[in-house]
Chain A
């Protein structure tokens, strides 16, 4: 049973436009959410996170929005650049002390020239 769902396996966006990557979760106990970015043949790298006490967190071109009532979060990249082409993983954790992060399957983002 997937607790973190990224329903779009891939997404293509024109360079300069906005990329929106979506993530849904089922566990209402999740209270901390992260996005990781992964290039081929490399490990994932941390991108941005958000605590459930917030509904938005911004870092440069990257903004994460959290809608707790819908159990939905999204990552916005504006403007999209060629170097943003990668796989993006949504992840979540709960404050239960078991130290686990649950990852989604990932969305492959293609930035088109």
Chain B
């Protein structure tokens, strides 16, 4: 099992550009999440999905969009990149929302918006 994979590992964007951060999991998990981690800060939830076709906003959804067409993939879309979106983005997945169910994290995508 590869677990949770994310691409790209690192990207530099200009203000106003758009991009999609890819996330794939091969554990047949129903739940998937996107977090961002700003320097010196904890992880904040951007969006999450409880299954294919179902997504919901987290704590900091503004400036992002998501879709979940398959169980495996949960891409995060930035439409108009802003310097405030400079961060490290982590995708995670879990089998269910039993709180004792561990979330498995990908290695992260480091994004720099200039």
Contact = CB atoms under 8 A, between A and B. Distances in A.
Interface of A: 4, 9, 32, 41-46, 49, 51, 89, 91, 93, 95, 99-106
B58 interface: yes
A43 B40 CA distance: 15
Given A43-B108, A49-B100, A104 B59 contact: no
A32 B99 contact: yes
B99 A93 contact: yes
12 contacts: A9-B40, A32-B100, A41-B107, A41-B108, A43-B106, A43-B108, A45-B105, A51-B100, A93-B99, A99-B50, A99-B97, A103-B35
Interface residues of B, number: 26
A27 B107 CA distance: 30
Contact of B107 (A9, A42, A91): A42
